[in-house]
Chains A and B, each alone.
Chain A
Amino acid sequence: MNKTKILLNGLIKENPTFVLLLGMCPTLGTTTSASGGLGMGLSTLFVLICSNVAISMAKNIIPDKVRIPAFIVIIATFVTILQLCMQAYLPDLYETLGLFIPLIVVNCILLGRAEAFAAKHTPGDAFFDGLGIGLGFTVALTLLGCVREFLGTGHIFGLPVYPEEYGSLIFILAPGAFIALGFLIAIIHTIKTR
């Protein structure tokens, strides 16, 4: 299978946030700032690549009837490794993302890719699928984070663009997340169907 095609499939055609609408909990929870979204996206990218490759390599020794628990154990292992390393070497980022890191285990994007792609393809293809979907998720979260941070506080990546008083608080809160996401999906859909 063509590697570029797999990569672009994850990034654009089946973008997990803008097209499949998967993993909404971390999407809405961590995107109050651009850096939060970027951090969450990269964490998911790392776990997704590792779990995709591991599951693809182990697919022949996993009997069909117990594949879900096997996948979950593999995903949870990588999430915990990530959590421990982040706590040790990036304590500041860990503080902002905190609760959302362990929740990557139950992110349906990971189990979905394991089931739909990794369990049926070679480790090489699974790697590129993980990379594509992971990058798609990262780009989407960063974009959403930028929009919310800009409209809510007047900053982008913590750099002031306009005074904070003119920001509208709703974009930092949960309703604003839905509104911003809805508009982003509409804009992207319009561009794609042109």
Chain B
Amino acid sequence: MKKIDSTFWNMLWSLTLITAVAGGLLGYTHRLTEEPIARATKAGREKAIQEVIPEYDNSPIDEQQTIVVRNEYGETPTIVYPAQKEGRLSGAAVECSNNTGYSGEIRIIVGFNADGSIKDYRVLKHEETPGLGAKMNEWFRSEKNDQNILGKSPAKNKLQVKQEAGEVDAITAATITSKAFLGAVRTAYEAYIETTKGENHE
């Protein structure tokens, strides 16, 4: 077959054909992958929740609540996943974000015990510098010096970096990241307190 000439009609039908085939292929792939993608996203979220909250026998993901926290960072929408054991609140996982980091959004999930102390946390998404700020997923759980925040409660402990007269050691060479991370932790705590208030009224 000889190559077709660049006449107007040839260009028109050629590009139309190519884009139509491409569109069809993409539509088909989208239909095929839509469900697995939703499942993978949900599984990832569920795994993170399971890792950070105390024992539960309810379904935190189905009982999630969205709460908007207003503090020094403006309005932050957070998602609270309550954990219940035998009908009583045993803690919660709170997903929230902070935009004051070194680059882009830091999104974390923090698990609280019923008394408000931090059970565990996971960093879900961040764009901090690799090797510096990116260490936050390990740094704040390490027992070295005053790095550890697990077991502490934002109500009793001042969870701010030492440079701001707090009691937590910032990540070496990544103070801005540390401030933003701890900011997100405090925001999460405020959201948690907000939900427990609701629980008491019931």
Contact = CB atoms under 8 A, between A and B. Distances in A.
Interface of A: 32, 58-66, 69-70, 73-74, 76-77, 80-81, 84-85, 87-89, 91, 152-153, 169, 172-173
B6 A70 contact: no
A64 B19 CA distance: 17
B22 interface: yes
Range class of the B interface residue count: 20 to 34
Contacts of A173: 129-131
B44 interface: yes
B132 A169 contact: yes
A153 B7 contact: no
B157 interface: no
A74 B18 CA distance: 8
A65 B41 contact: no
A88 B7 contact: no
Nearest to B15: A66
B141 interface: no
Contact of B30 (A64, A84, A172): A84
B193 interface: no
Interface stretch (B32-40, B82-90, B111-119, B160-168): B32-40
B11 A85 contact: no
Interface of B: 1-7, 10-11, 14-15, 17-19, 22, 25-26, 29-30, 33, 36-37, 40-41, 43-44, 129-132
B37 A63 contact: no
A63 B12 CA distance: 10
B14 to A, nearest CB: 6
A9 to B, nearest CB: 25
16 contacts: A60-B2, A60-B3, A62-B14, A63-B10, A66-B14, A73-B15, A73-B22, A76-B22, A80-B26, A80-B29, A87-B37, A88-B33, A169-B131, A172-B130, A173-B129, A173-B131
Contacts of A85: 29, 33
Given A73-B18, A77-B22, A59 B3 contact: yes
A152 B131 CA distance: 8
A73 B4 CA distance: 19
A70 B130 CA distance: 38
Contacts of B26: 77, 80-81
Contacts of B22: 73-74, 76-77
Given A80-B26, A91-B40, 15 more contacts: A58-B18, A60-B4, A65-B6, A66-B6, A70-B15, A77-B22, A77-B25, A84-B29, A84-B37, A85-B29, A85-B33, A88-B40, A91-B44, A169-B132, A172-B131
